Structure 1
Amino acid sequence: MTQFAAACGVVLDDWQAYVIDGLFAVDDDGHWAATEFGLLVSRQNGKGEILVAYDLAHLFMFPRPDNRRKTILHTAHEMKTAIDGFQRLKGVIEGQPELMRRVHQIYTANGQEGILLKPRKRQALGDRVKFIARSKSSGRGFSGDVLVQDEAQEEDQEAHNALTYTQSAVPNRQELFAGTVPQEGVNASEVFEGVRDRGRSGTSRRTGWMEWTPEGSEDPTGAESIDRADPAVWASSNPSAPHRIGWDVIGEQHDRDTTPGKEAFGRERLSIWPNRPEEAVTSNSDLDMDRWFEHEVSTWLSRRVALAVSIGRGGGYSSICGAQRLDDGKILVQHLATNAGTLWLPEKVKELRRELSARLIVLDEKNAATIISDMTRAGVRYMAMNMSEVAAAFDMTIEYVNADMVLHPAQPELDDALEAAVPRVMNKGQNLKTWDQGDPMVPSSAVQAMSLAIWGLKKSEARGATSSTAEPAVLSSGESAATGDDVLTMRF
């Protein structure tokens, strides 16, 4: 691949060639060894050349063996970045007559950027590469064999789902995530972080991960001690220095950084991105696990409950939990379901709503954005919670558990999830926190759903105390499904 790229005028550094070799490694069956591959490297080191070489190879060297059209979707957070990638590839192809002879058309209209090849022998439609900006609807209608996710540090779950499900029926698919370290509380980075965690931990044999970072930068307890003024640290994080980016430039960036502990320099130039702490939540938050275990009861949810939905990192699983006020004033919580994916959620919520006479259904409007339309079609009314409300649910759960106000039946899956979950800061300025997955093998969605259910129960009680005539927050079993904006914007 590096020889082909060089013949096309794209000469790669050794480290760039190493990345390309990893991307195009195959298994014993001749399939891509990595169905998802993450690349973390700081800015101005030449990531763009890797993406050009990658697009070139997939477009011209690796047709589908079934002779069907191959589609490469090259995406970025911002359209200007996607267009830059398009112009780079277009320039290389137009400079090579041999490549241009295989091109049917180059589309340059705004929003239509892409390159279409002439059909190969016995091929009805030519292979193509399209350049798009990510959104909740981008990529729909296309079946992507290859997905390029530039600016991967800025990709939320909703935008990712719109793309990744285009590969559902594609054999030998591959996704490339290329990005820099996200800023906590600013970038929607859960997708890229999930790839990082799977890649670093080695828990997924189909995940490839490469990063250029200082030694120890993944350690959540030791990363802050990395000497940001050490030229050896600069070199470990900038594989293209000094010929692409000079040491003097890096030195100036270091000296001009006024953030505490040179945090911005460490993130942007050194790619310091620690893992989330793996300790149990007892050492990472104020929740007392001993009190949690002391309040195990034989009671189960019965009626007038609040239901909550949460989707796990990467959308690979999702959970439903409920909360109910007991006669003694305490709150009973119960894990109701955790399954792979999200397609099962709306009908299951609808079933539980009727079975348990749910008084309110709540969800995090950002976390559950991918199922909102499905919930609407299923006729399920819900209340969408914002970031501040999700953080309030986190704080409320800790307070109520520690005050002996939360009871729960024996459910090892919920116990394990709570022990493994860790806090995640959503907004540093306001210190807003929520639950996150501390152990890559233990889903945290059940813990998040439990917290949201407790908050939902309190919210429904407050609403009931102030208004007896307002529209109910959920449909009863005999009501027809509502449609329109009232389903999407239930706020009290």
Structure 2
Amino acid sequence: MDSFGPEAIELMRRAGMPMDAWQEDSITAMLAVKDDGRWACFEYCEWVSRQNGKGCLLEARALTGLLLIGERLIMWSAHEYKTAMESFRRVIWLVGRLGTKVNDNLYDVDGILLKVINTNGEESIERLDTGARIKFVARSKGSGRGFSGDVNLVDETFAYTFVQQSALMPTMSARPNPQIVYTSSPPLTGDTGEVMYLLRHRGDPTAPRGAEDGRWTQDPGLGYRDWGLGGNLDFLAGIDLDDLALWAAANPSLGIRISVEHVRRERRSMPPEDFARERLGIWPRRTTGPDGWAVIGETFWTAAEESASQIDGRPAFGVYVPPDRSYAAIGIAGARVGGGRHIEVAGDGEVLDYRPGTAWVVPRLKELERNGPSVVVIDDKALAEEAEAAGLVVHRANVADVVTGCQLLYDGIAGEDPAGRDIKHIGQAELTDAVRGATKRDIGGSWAWARRDLAVDVTPLAAVSLALFGHSTPRIHRPEEGDPWFFFG
């Protein structure tokens, strides 16, 4: 089996950044090719503690792809914008060491002109002869959608979600020889890092496994290396956190770019669990299922889906606006034709009432007034005042109302009493994404919906929960007018 690893190693040496032995091994495995010229590893994972030099692997992979292999689009993503931009600046610096700076935005590397694009949101390095480029992005639910990348470099995989993976993977399907590379330290908590846990179960035969994980089998397209120690953060009693040999085993760059003296400082100043995770690479015990659904399991949500479900009678509307007011959503709940209860995000055909900002909400509620809602529940003070000024009758939700709505929805989908699981939904993707990525936020011993990370938006879920509270609380209903109304969207 051949590899472009030696070329990548030489490229980094030329840039004045010679790779450590473990990095050379990694880049050689990552860039190995089969007899047919395709990558031996469609996916490659490198899990190693912070500051050991995993960024150098991504730099070597990106520059080799751009300068030597001729890959058309290399997507480099990070969890946060500032991290993506730091990587962008670092690669520009390496380009400068490999070649000559022509002007502020142009470099010459062995006759190859590279243009640096600094436009906000378009940060990239482009070859002027072929148009090939490395593009740097901060991840979101839709980042990467629409790009057809030859290579996708996923930095900070601990904050990489199934929603982002689902947006990314199809972009690679039309490429002749794609590759995705993941680098990270361990997940921060057991209910995050969902993609990392899945990759771990695919790549590591010694990883803790539940019955739902099945037996381990070798994945021929996955390259996998985890430098972290075994065990989990809940059971550290049998691990000597002061053992220098364990420090060296988990940190391949100890004594090279990480000093023993500094690790001793970390040990003194950090709680044991943090030191074990950040420096020894010990994973937290996974607290979500393998599918990443932390509160309502996928099985329950799927069982509650019925595309033909409809509301029988008057609907209740719920309006939710997150604290950053970036989006808003109008949820609907009511009695269901045939029995039970029905929830959905309001909308007109395929256009849902889940949109950026809040200026659209009150005009849309005025339109929906024609449906004779039993109640309109809003938990945002400013929006409630705006709706009342427009002549709408509103119930202003308090914290107890929000909590009640969340628990009503949970019990109606996945509660312990099977007889109480009487809620149906119509499978709207936006609502499903919110349920998949939702976690619990503690509120005085009870809970409300929260999002797992910045790429998840629970706004649609919170809106239908408020609507469900409204439907289930007759004391706040407006007097009924006319005949029952059937909601068709």
TM-score bracket, shorter-length normalisation: 0.5 to 0.7
Question: 1:172 corresponds to which letter in structure 2?
Answer: N
Aligned-pair RMSD on alpha carbons?
A: 5.5
State the match for 2:193 in structure 1.
189
1:103 and 1:116 in contact (8 A); partners too: no
CA deviation profile, 1:158-190 (whole Å, cap 9, x unmatched): 5555544432422321111212223238x9633
Equivalent of 2:45 in 38, 43, 53: 38
1:54 counterpart = 2:72:
no
Structure 2 SS opposite 1:213: coil
State the match for 1:237 in structure 2.
250
Question: 1:105 corresponds to which letter in structure 2?
Answer: L
> Structure 1 30/396 Cα, relative in aligned 2: closer, same or farther at 3 Å?
same
2:402 and 2:465 in contact (8 A); partners too: no
Structure 2 SS opposite 1:153: helix
Residues matched between the structures, number? 370
Equivalent of 1:89 in 59, 83, 91: 91
Equivalent of 2:125 in 115, 118, 123: 115
Shift in Å at residue 135 of structure 1?
A: 3.1
> Structure 1 406/240 Cα, relative in aligned 2: closer, same or farther at 3 Å?
same
How high is the sequence identity, in percent, across the aligned residues? 29
State the match for 2:231 in structure 1.
216
2:141 and 2:164 in contact (8 A); partners too: yes
State the match for 1:251 in structure 2.
264
- Note the residue ranges of structure 2 that are not aligned, 5 or more in a row: 101-107, 205-212, 301-307, 317-332, 343-348, 353-372, 375-398, 423-436, 451-459
Matches within 5 A, 1:75-474: 75-97=77-99, 100-111=109-120, 112-119=122-129, 125-184=130-189, 189-200=193-204, 202=216, 204-217=219-232, 222=235, 225-257=238-270, 259=271, 262-276=272-286, 304=312, 401-402=415-416, 405-406=419-420, 426=440, 460-462=471-473, 466-467=477-478
1:77 and 1:150 in contact (8 A); partners too: yes
Shift in Å at residue 244 of structure 1?
A: 1.0
1:140 and 1:163 in contact (8 A); partners too: yes
1:2 and 1:12 in contact (8 A); partners too: no
Shift in Å at residue 250 of structure 1?
A: 0.8
Q: Distance in 1 between matches of 2:110 and 2:40?
A: 31
Q: Distance in 2 between matches of 1:403 and 1:428?
A: 23
Structure 2 SS opposite 1:104: strand
Structure 2 SS opposite 1:177: strand
Shift in Å at residue 430 of structure 1?
A: 7.5
Compare CA radii of gyration and give the structure with the larger one.
2
Normalising by structure 2, what TM-score?
A: 0.58
Question: 1:3 corresponds to which letter in structure 2?
Answer: P
> Structure 1 166/176 Cα, relative in aligned 2: closer, same or farther at 3 Å?
same
Q: Distance in 1 between matches of 2:127 and 2:148?
A: 17
CA deviation profile, 1:267-316 (whole Å, cap 9, x unmatched): 22222114526999xxx99x9xxxx9xxxxxxx9897599xxxxxxxxxx
Shift in Å at residue 142 of structure 1?
A: 3.1
1:11 counterpart = 2:18:
yes
1:143 and 1:166 in contact (8 A); partners too: yes
Q: Distance in 1 between matches of 2:87 and 2:249?
A: 26
Shift in Å at residue 55 of structure 1?
A: 0.9
1:73 and 1:146 in contact (8 A); partners too: yes
State the match for 1:73 in structure 2.
75
Q: Distance in 1 between matches of 2:180 and 2:478?
A: 50
2:5 and 2:29 in contact (8 A); partners too: no
Shift in Å at residue 228 of structure 1?
A: 2.2
Q: Distance in 2 between matches of 1:302 and 1:79?
A: 42
Question: 1:113 corresponds to which letter in structure 2?
Answer: E
> Structure 1 50/404 Cα, relative in aligned 2: closer, same or farther at 3 Å?
closer
- Note the residue ranges of structure 1 that are not aligned, 5 or more in a row: 65-69, 120-124, 293-299, 307-322, 335-345, 350-358, 361-385, 409-422, 436-448, 480-492
